[in-house]
Amino acid sequence: MAVTSSKEGKFSGMDQGKYVRYTAEQVEALERLYHECPKPSSIRRQQLIRECPILSNIEPKQIKVWFQNRRCREKQRKEASRLQAVNRKLSAMNKLLMEENDRLQKQVSQLVYENGYFRQQLQNASIATTDTSCESVVTSVKHQQQNHLTPRDPPRDASPAGLLSIAEETLTEFLSKAKGNAVEWIQMPGMKPGPDAIGIVTISHGCTGVAARACSLVGIDPTKVAEILKDRTSWLRDCRSVDVLTAFSTGNGGTVELLYMQMYAPTTLASARDFWTLRYTSVLEDGSLVVCERSLSGTQGGPSMPAVQHFVRAEMQPSGYLIRPCEGGGSLIHIVDHMDLEPWSVPEVLRPLYESSTVLAQKVTMAALRHLRQIAQEVSSDVVLGWGRQPAALRTFSQRLCKGFNEAVNGFTDDGWSLMGNDGMDDVTILINSSPSKLLGQQFASSDGLPALGGGILCAKASMLLQNVPPALLVRFLREHRSEWADSNIDAYSAASWKASPCTVPSSRIGGFGGGGQVILPLAHTVEHEEFLEVIKLENNGLTQEEALLSRDMFLLQLCSGIDENAVGACAELVFAPIDASLADSSPLLPSGFRVIPLDSGMDGSSPNRTLDLASALEIGSAGTRTSVDYGGNSSNLRSVLTIAFQFTFENHLRENVATMARQYVRGVVASVQRVAMALAPSRLGSHLGPRLPPGTPEALTLARWVCQSYRFHLGVELLRPNSEVNESVLKTLWHHSDAIMCCSLKSLPIFTFANQAGLDMLETTLVALQDISLEKILDDNGRKSFCSDIAQIMQQGYAYLPAGVCVSSMGRPASYDRAIAWKVLNDEENPHCIAFMFMNWSFV
């Protein structure tokens, strides 16, 4: 049978060698049905024929072929569209690379010319007489100085004509940096151009101040790009405010604005910065849109801005954005940031932070590109994220968390903060804010989010210097293992303090925090996964009945960023705030958290599970010698500054009690973080010997030997491939074994004491926190039942094979495995020491 149509392209397949064609009405009906159900079952296809009489003369098999072909065409269309988008991006990146190549060739030519010129000058100086040479040089230098000091332009004033003159000069200088060689640009460490890269990112070499430049393609039209970038407070987390004090249009269609901008200080150890700038927006002859900006100072003759208390006036050299329309949509953008952050005004230990172009690139230049890419992704697809929330709403939550934490770290008086007297020690600073409406906004402060009896907000903060710990590694650990530093009493108080009923101020548990676990509920992440927004559900294990009643439905809204250890110069943060389970947009937020900022530009990309040495990271048993071992690389030279800030609400009659509790709590958190940092950091001992992988103490080497010997004794085969009889090679081979190998104690509640790299990956933990994980916690119901039935066999026979099953990591993720083996580990006296497990072919579900 063949159904024909005069229109071309209406055939769908063939049956017994005959093409089948459909009428326009039939195709229209099939298309309508396809959009309702792209892959109908056999019963559904027969139902379609009955419901649609126009298809009654077509066999069900032909309907099936039509839907198959239609799905294939849809897949081909999507793939073609994707390839076209990739091709456009590659063409745009190729254009950027060609421009960069031209710039570098010009720079090489200039350097070759200068090299030849200086060489000729040296030769002339060697053969000339001393007196004549001196006269000539002095005369030449004086002439050059006179030419340099002679102003090329008449002095400018604060009139529109004078400001436009400054604006045009700013535009010229900015373009010479964006497309020329006014600044010597070098590739930023760790950045490799490519189709998946954020763009071409370079930093300055040898110029005044710090500077960074980026070139990239974004899928947003130029006008929208300019609008987004000019709104600095929406994407630059360190920007407190931008005020436009004056604005006027120019004759060429441009706009000149005078801006006053305030920037937060990243730590409690330095003052905040502010800028007084002129911003010029204009369109070039080729249609490119330019937004350029520079500081105004007395030497330029423009208007001045008096100094503001608590702020250090920094200088912005000509900077800005060059935005060009791209063929096929989107924009090609050049970003230049060039600043002098006045490093002389900060403690010497912090000066690398203010003198690093890499830090500027991460915090400002690349932040702009990431924000644009995030907006482009949200615009191109209808994205609904965790808990059914729109991306813009979740992005607002992230901004509010960062802003609230920055306000706590800085404690500006115009927000209502004032210093509270200390207890004789200056390690923790206490600030109080009795006017929270200035900080939270009137709609938040007047709600039931603050104690009804009258009160305010108290902030306890501290900063400390860390050695040899990558910021990403430390923050990742703090995120994954909250019980290592947090106190469930304080969490319960913080959660209850936002409720209408008052609660008793708890006492902080110094020297050992208690509390249950946490469940991480993802909300959203950025395109490059450098930032995560999540809800933390706190379990109330170990609380008293009264505390458990207060802490019901304890949730934290948490923002984690900078945990990619390969991101050179990136700051790592963990910021959180109590929140109601409804996650309402109007919920007040009182953020607390940690910020770790690297002070050295050379970052060591190391594994998060670097603490292989059992004795250096854990206390196994009741006693043991803690021996530190070097883990190689440059991590022993890492320095970073950690800033901690915790905020609490208080009622006026309990202010002193809350202050005492907060001070003790922050000191306890500092002590816990120091303990964790020491466990995560390698020792300086032996650093000159280079990396030794894996390191090990006698305890670790002995355990590895017992595990392998017991496996051979019970099962009659080797656990490891024959390599070497040296103990350290046994530990190394065990550590890198592809299957997850773990050891747990012989107790009523077995606790893990060791895991190899695959085991730590499977449990999503580190050796530092491994002792907090019990065997019961990672097994599902079937696994627990199987282990209970097999434990007698393991102790009698020495081993048991466990069926395929599912484990749960410390982060709550299920991991399946094909099969597992458990065996009894014997010590040298052939007494049971522990039980070892090997999970084979595991993967996250």
Q: Average pLDDT in the 23-42 region?
A: 82
CA-to-CA dists, residue 597 to 157, 159, 352, 439, 642, angstroms: 41, 43, 11, 25, 7
Q: Which of 331, 356, 380 represents a domain boundary (last residue)?
A: 380
In a domain, residue 138? The reply is no
Bridge partner list, 324: 332
Q: Average pLDDT in the 811-828 region?
A: 86
- Closest C-alpha among 264, 285, 267 to residue 364: 264
Question: pLDDT digit string (tens) for 331-348?
Answer: 999 999 999 999 999 998
SS3 of residue 468 by DSSP:
coil
**Strand ranges inside 155-303, DSSP E:** 185-187, 200-204, 210-218, 239-249, 255-263, 272-283, 289-295
Confidence at 17, pLDDT banded by 50, 70, 90:
very low
Lowest mean pLDDT among 269-278, 540-549, 766-775: 540-549
Q: Which residue has the tokens 């550590």?
A: 735
- Closest C-alpha among 741, 680, 660 to residue 707: 741
- The CATH number of whichever domain residue 487 belongs to comes to 3.30.530
> Are 92 and 204 in the same domain?
no
Claim: this prediction has a pTM higher than 0.85: no
- Determine the length of the chain: 845
Residue 220 has pLDDT above 80, yes or no: yes
Bridge partner list, 100: none
DSSP state of 298: G
Q: Which residue has the tokens 């960074």?
A: 212
Residue 69 has pLDDT above 90, yes or no: no
Question: pLDDT digit string (tens) for 743-786?
Answer: 998 887 788 888 998 888 888 777 767 777 888 888 877 777 77
Residue 445 has pLDDT above 60, yes or no: no
Q: Which residue has the tokens 């763009």?
A: 199
Q: Kindly compute the dihedral angle of the four CA atoms of residues 834, 835, 839, 840, in this order, to the nearest 10 degrees.
A: 100
Question: pLDDT digit string (tens) for 153-166?
Answer: 444 567 888 899 99
Angle, helices 698-715/727-735, rounded to nearest 10 degrees: 80
Q: Average pLDDT in the 30-43 region?
A: 81
Q: Average pLDDT in the 219-229 region?
A: 93
Residue 830 has pLDDT above 50, yes or no: yes
Number of domains in the chain: 4
> H or E segment at 668?
helix 655-680
Lowest mean pLDDT among 307-311, 313-317, 685-689, 784-788: 685-689
End-to-end CA distance of the chain: 48
Strands 311-313 and 272-283: parallel
Residue 118 has pLDDT above 70, yes or no: yes
Strands 289-295 and 311-313: unpaired
In a domain, residue 444? The reply is no
Q: Which domain holds residue 558?
A: 391-438+454-498+519-540+552-601+637-680
* pLDDT score of 71: 87
**CA dist., res. 780 & res. 771, Å (int):** 19
> Are 178 and 36 in the same domain?
no
- What is the distance of C-alpha 313 from the center of its chain? 29
Phi, psi of 337 (to 5 degrees): -120, 125
Lowest mean pLDDT among 299-313, 724-738, 783-797, 799-813: 724-738
DSSP secondary structure string for all residues of 319-353: EEEEEEE-TTSSEEEEEEEEEE--GGGS-GGGHHH
- Select the highest-mean-pLDDT range: 18-32, 588-602, 650-664: 650-664
> Are 354 and 217 in the same domain?
yes
Strands 429-433 and 331-340: unpaired
Lowest mean pLDDT among 355-359, 609-613, 825-829: 609-613
> Are 820 and 779 in the same domain?
yes
In a domain, residue 685? The reply is no
Question: pLDDT digit string (tens) for 365-395?
Answer: 999 999 998 898 888 765 556 566 778 888 8
Residue 25 in contact with residue 54, Cβ under 8 Å?
A: yes
Q: Which of 112, 144, 168 represents a domain boundary (last residue)?
A: 112
The overall average pLDDT reported for the chain is 78
Q: Average pLDDT in the 792-813 region?
A: 84
* pLDDT score of 401: 95
Question: pLDDT digit string (tens) for 235-263?
Answer: 999 999 999 999 999 888 899 999 999 99
> Are 223 and 354 in the same domain?
yes
Question: pLDDT digit string (tens) for 168-182?
Answer: 999 999 999 998 888
| b/e code 292-324 from CB counts within 10 Å (16+ = b) | bbbbbeeebbbbebeeeeebbbbbbbbbbbbbb
> Are 656 and 771 in the same domain?
no
In a domain, residue 785? The reply is yes
- The CATH number of whichever domain residue 787 belongs to comes to 3.30.450.20
- The CATH number of whichever domain residue 68 belongs to comes to 1.10.10.60
SS3 of residue 268 by DSSP:
coil
Rg, C-alpha atoms of the chain: 33
> Are 675 and 820 in the same domain?
no
In a domain, residue 145? The reply is no
> Are 714 and 572 in the same domain?
no
Confidence at 623, pLDDT banded by 50, 70, 90:
very low
* pLDDT score of 314: 95
Beta carbons within 10 angstroms of residue 748's beta carbon:
5
**CA dist., res. 109 & res. 103, Å (int):** 10
Provide the token pair at 180: 């020329």
> Are 715 and 769 in the same domain?
yes
In a domain, residue 782? The reply is yes
Beta carbons within 10 angstroms of residue 339's beta carbon:
23
**CA dist., res. 559 & res. 533, Å (int):** 5
**CA dist., res. 820 & res. 669, Å (int):** 39
Provide the token pair at 531: 């930032």
In a domain, residue 692? The reply is no
Name which residue leads in pLDDT, 83 or 409. 409
Residue 208 in contact with residue 340, Cβ under 8 Å?
A: yes
Lowest mean pLDDT among 140-144, 562-566, 799-803: 140-144
431 CB contacts (<8 Å, ≥6 apart)? 408, 411, 417, 418, 419, 420, 458, 459, 461
> Are 812 and 745 in the same domain?
yes
Q: Which amino acid is at 163?
A: L
**CA dist., res. 434 & res. 816, Å (int):** 53
In a domain, residue 462? The reply is yes
**CA dist., res. 362 & res. 572, Å (int):** 11
Residue 481 in contact with residue 451, Cβ under 8 Å?
A: no
- The CATH number of whichever domain residue 276 belongs to comes to 3.30.530.20
> Are 180 and 277 in the same domain?
yes
CA-to-CA dists, residue 613 to 618, 770, 825, angstroms: 8, 13, 20
Provide the token pair at 134: 């001196």
Name which residue leads in pLDDT, 844 or 409. 409
Residue 724 in contact with residue 824, Cβ under 8 Å?
A: no
Name which residue leads in pLDDT, 146 or 41. 41
DSSP state of 629: -
* pLDDT score of 695: 45
> Are 397 and 462 in the same domain?
yes
Q: Average pLDDT in the 654-670 region?
A: 92
Bridge partner list, 829: none
**CA dist., res. 301 & res. 296, Å (int):** 8
Residue 362 has pLDDT above 50, yes or no: yes
Confidence at 192, pLDDT banded by 50, 70, 90:
low
Lowest mean pLDDT among 547-551, 587-591, 637-641: 547-551
